[in-house]
């Protein structure tokens, strides 16, 4: 049996505190000291990102991955809130990762996938 030693780190970006752990994959969102709905946190940090395409998953926790890019360099700093090359469950059934330049989302729920790709 593998024991997970969590290492939750806290980062504040755009006024949102994000606590994440690259060991267990957990993400908790806070705004002004209160828990924030994960969907709202994601929208505040990444709502301006542009969907580039859909990819078949290689090692993500879902069969398909959505690739996003920030509209400019300033928005890229939002990715620094999370460790790179690690899948984190940013919201229930919605996993994120990044490579410092692009945001990768792996929706494990078909409803998430539909909502994230609607109009794209």
Indicate whether 97 belongs to any domain.
Answer: yes
Indicate whether 80 belongs to any domain.
Answer: yes
Q: Where are the beta strands (DSSP E) in the chain?
A: 9-13, 16-20, 27-31, 34-35, 50-56, 64-69, 88-91, 94-98, 103-107
* 11 contacts 29 by C-beta, under 8 angstroms: no
Q: Give the mean pLDDT of 38-44.
A: 93
Indicate whether 88 belongs to any domain.
Answer: yes
pLDDT digits (tens, 9 = 90+) for 58-91: 888 999 999 999 988 778 889 988 999 999 999 9
What percent of the chain lies above the pLDDT cut of 90?
A: 59
| Confidence band for 3, pLDDT divided at 50, 70 and 90 | low
Question: Which position has the token pair 């395409």?
Answer: 53
Indicate whether 91 belongs to any domain.
Answer: yes
Domain span holding position 54: 38-117
Residue 31 pLDDT exceeds 90: yes
Residue 28 pLDDT exceeds 90: yes
| Confidence band for 120, pLDDT divided at 50, 70 and 90 | low
Residue 2 pLDDT exceeds 60: no
pLDDT of residue 40: 94
Phi–psi pair at 53, nearest 5 degrees:
180, 175
* 65 contacts 94 by C-beta, under 8 angstroms: no
pTM: 0.86
Q: Which residue has the higher pLDDT, 108 or 1?
A: 108
- Count up the domains in the chain and report the number: 1
Indicate whether 113 belongs to any domain.
Answer: yes
């Amino acid at each position: 049996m593998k024991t997970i030693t969590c290492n939750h780190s806290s980062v504040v970006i755009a006024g949102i505190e994000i606590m994440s752990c690259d060991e267990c994959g957990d993400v908790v969102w806070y705004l002004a000291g209160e828990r924030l709905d994960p969907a709202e946190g994601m929208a505040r940090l990444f709502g301006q990102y542009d969907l580039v395409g859909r990819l078949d998953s290689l090692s993500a926790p879902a069969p398909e991955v959505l690739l996003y890019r920030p509209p400019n360099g300033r928005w890229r700093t939002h990715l620094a809130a999370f460790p790179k090359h690690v899948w984190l469950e940013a919201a229930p059934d919605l996993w994120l990762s990044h490579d410092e330049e692009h945001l990768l989302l792996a929706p494990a729920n078909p409803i998430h996938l539909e909502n994230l790709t609607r109009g794209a």
